[in-house]
Chains A and B, each alone.
Chain A
């Protein structure tokens, strides 16, 4: 490991690696996980909250899920302050597009645009990369429901199911086994809860430790981003039998 190539973000190591980008991904690997699952009639985003306290005002603050535009939302994993900057950038980009074209920005273009910003921090300027990975969930008239994952390098991909943050590899392999292409939104919620319950470090799953959001179409055809209330979450946890500690689940 060539430590002497660590400090400058914008140079390659002799092995052809960008260490700062990799270290950023390390930082995310220690942060609260987030999972996204695409279904026929919507996209489900679920996140593990690291900051849990009864004192947290849940109606006004969100740790994991953010709305970018009426038709796009995202879940974050990593350094929250970095995430806030990028979320604002994404929001501005989305509005700029709508100002120019009077139409909602296609989801992939929004993701690409944000990733272009992130890429800049790996090539010039001398500033460190953002320590955030995103899961973007949205709907547009070109491709319907979509899920994208992006990381500090500025790479992104479209996914049917994806996980970021702590234990994301374990979550990803469970998703690979259990994901079904024609699942409904409810089944996707169930899968998300089950996967998170298996991969989360904490001993029991309560609504305090989770944030759950869904992106779907209302009967009138407009896109809705809905974050579950703690009560609704608790009901779902009970319904799918994941409230018990992980060690006792059958």
Chain B
């Protein structure tokens, strides 16, 4: 039921993820941020087993930081993606992580990039990608409307089209989404799309 998708535009990459934390039939919270800021210019949108998701993405994040402290230079997006894939591949033969990842980043030499990394250590550099049941709708929508070198406004329009499609067609569609962007100025929150907000009732 988790929906993660993303695409590359003109000098930027955008990822969107649903924000539902689900346990069986219970929704724990609807503002769970599943897009981690890996470093100043990288985002990791992850979906999968909640414990694995947090454990693995934090592990990658700390290793990426360690590299930067040790060597004085940050990893490129490609290097970080390959490192992540390698860790998943090693764990796969013993204790696999059930985590799917879309890694988006910006490097000065190579511009914006997006990497599709699934739980069995598949790695693909892509222009657009998606995970989860929502992918049936978001990939089709992106295939229809995506062009290379879209502006931020055009890309957000496409993201919103995908969210609308997911909301209207997926039977247990997540109500809320978070959208984050990474470009030459760094990785940051872009917007939230909330159709259900937490309700706090006043004491009676």
Contacts and interface: CB of A to CB of B under 8 A. Distances in A.
B66 to A, nearest CB: 13
Contacts of A230: none
Interface stretch (B1-9, B15-23, B71-79, B141-149): B71-79
A66 B83 CA distance: 28
A120 interface: no
A61 interface: no
Nearest to A140: B73
Contact of B76 (A99, A100, A103): A103
A100 B83 contact: yes
Nearest to A141: B109
A100 B86 contact: yes
A65 B49 CA distance: 52
Interface string B27-50: 000000000000000000000000
A103 B79 contact: yes
A142 B82 CA distance: 19
Q: Chain A: interface residue count, which band?
A: 10 to 19
A101 B75 contact: yes
Nearest to B71: A109
Nearest to A108: B71
Contacts of B71: 106, 108-109
A102 B76 CA distance: 11
Q: Which of A102, A108, A141, A142 neighbours the largest number of chain B CB atoms within 10 Å of its CB?
A: A102
A106 B79 CA distance: 12
Contacts of B82: 100-103
A108 B71 CA distance: 9
B85 to A, nearest CB: 9
B172 to A, nearest CB: 38
A142 B73 contact: yes
Interface string A73-110: 00000000000000000000000000111110010110
Contacts of B109: 141
B73 A101 contact: no
B105 to A, nearest CB: 14
Interface string A10-25: 0000000000000000
Interface in A199-242: none
Nearest to B87: A100
B73 A102 contact: no
Contacts of A106: 71, 73
A103 B73 contact: no
A102 B77 CA distance: 11
Interface of B: 71, 73, 75-76, 78-79, 82-83, 86, 109
Given A100-B82, A101-B82, A106-B73, 18 more contacts: A99-B86, A100-B83, A100-B86, A101-B75, A101-B79, A101-B83, A102-B78, A102-B79, A102-B82, A103-B76, A103-B78, A103-B79, A103-B82, A106-B71, A108-B71, A109-B71, A141-B109, A142-B73
18 contacts: A99-B86, A100-B82, A100-B83, A100-B86, A101-B75, A101-B82, A101-B83, A102-B78, A102-B79, A102-B82, A103-B76, A103-B78, A103-B82, A106-B71, A106-B73, A108-B71, A109-B71, A142-B73
The 4 closest A-B pairs by CB, nearest first: A101-B79, A102-B82, A103-B79, A100-B86
